Amino acid sequence: MIDNHSPGTGASGILTTLLKSWGLAIALVAIGAVLSFAHPGFLTVPNLLNVARQISINGILAVGVTLVLLTGGVDLSLGSVVALAGVVAASLAHPGQYPVAVPVALGVAAGALCGATNGLLVTGGKVPSFIATLGMMSAARGLALVASNGRPVSNLSAAFTRLGGDVGRVPVPALILAVLALVTFVVLNRFRLGRYLYAVGGNAEAARASGINVGAIRMIAYTACGALAGVAGVVLAARVTTGQPNAGVGYELDAIAAVVIGGTSLSGGVGSVGGTLLGALLVGVINNGLDLMNVSSYYQAIVKGVIIVGAVWLDRNREKS
């Protein structure tokens, strides 16, 4: 006899499966529909392009921290690394100074170096990732302030600032996010490295027993996360046309919230780039809608806090189910 009331069957089971698979996309569509009724300017092309531009920095950071969270770690230094990379790149991007590839490469390298240092502390020094990256948060911010003498680095070349501009009507930062997300998706789903990242986060001891170099995989994850934070810092400096040593405050929380909302587990081993992008888009749409409705930044901070706590709560409930 078939039990129509057993778990996973009938209307309730179908609904549960649908929400688990498409819940985030459904929530995004629902929030978009509400905002379109609340403000007529939300669904206009200029505003949607603005949303794409606004989420690009957080999206790049979120893609990077996805790799670290997949291994069971965390990176709290992202915002400070963004500031340091932006200052390094801006310091070398004055008109007539160097070809644009030089400041871009050195800004990304600065981020990668910070990420590699985090990885060494976690894998070699056995320092918990929370503590290691918290220390880097302070150190990178200090380095950014020292390198810039505590002042914004301005007078950037037109070639450099184009990285924060548009191609036609499409924001360049959004294109950069799309390319990085696609590359990361391919690595996670088509390369051995991607399988190793999931394996290390799922069960590090089992991965080690199967011959995976767990330390090397974690080093790659932290270094790649730092490099992507460097990309975000370069793009942000180009977008605001200055290297700001105080930039990026709180960016790590936005990125981690987007990743966890997108389905990546804080315990590691579960997650996807597609979910991360949806999470970043959801956070960006909410922020954009609140801006359009002239909601005070004080209240927006409260909403952001609720989103972060809610994301962690959802993650814990996913683990129990």
Rounded distance between C-alpha atoms, residue 229 and residue 241, angstroms: 18
Phi, psi of 74 (to 5 degrees): -150, 155
C-beta separation of 276 from 48 below 8 A:
no
Q: Where are the alpha helices (DSSP H) in the chain?
A: 10-38, 45-70, 78-91, 101-123, 129-148, 158-161, 172-190, 192-202, 204-209, 214-240, 251-261, 273-292, 297-320
Residue positions counted in the chain: 321
What's the pLDDT tens digit per position in 22-45?
777 888 888 889 888 888 888 899
Domains present along the chain, CATH in parentheses: 35-320 (1.10.3470)
How does residue 299 score in pLDDT terms, banded at 50, 70 and 90? Answer: confident
Give residue 4's pLDDT: 47
What's the pLDDT tens digit per position in 61-108?
999 999 999 999 999 999 999 999 999 999 999 999 999 999 999 999
C-beta separation of 227 from 61 below 8 A:
no
End-to-end CA distance of the chain: 26
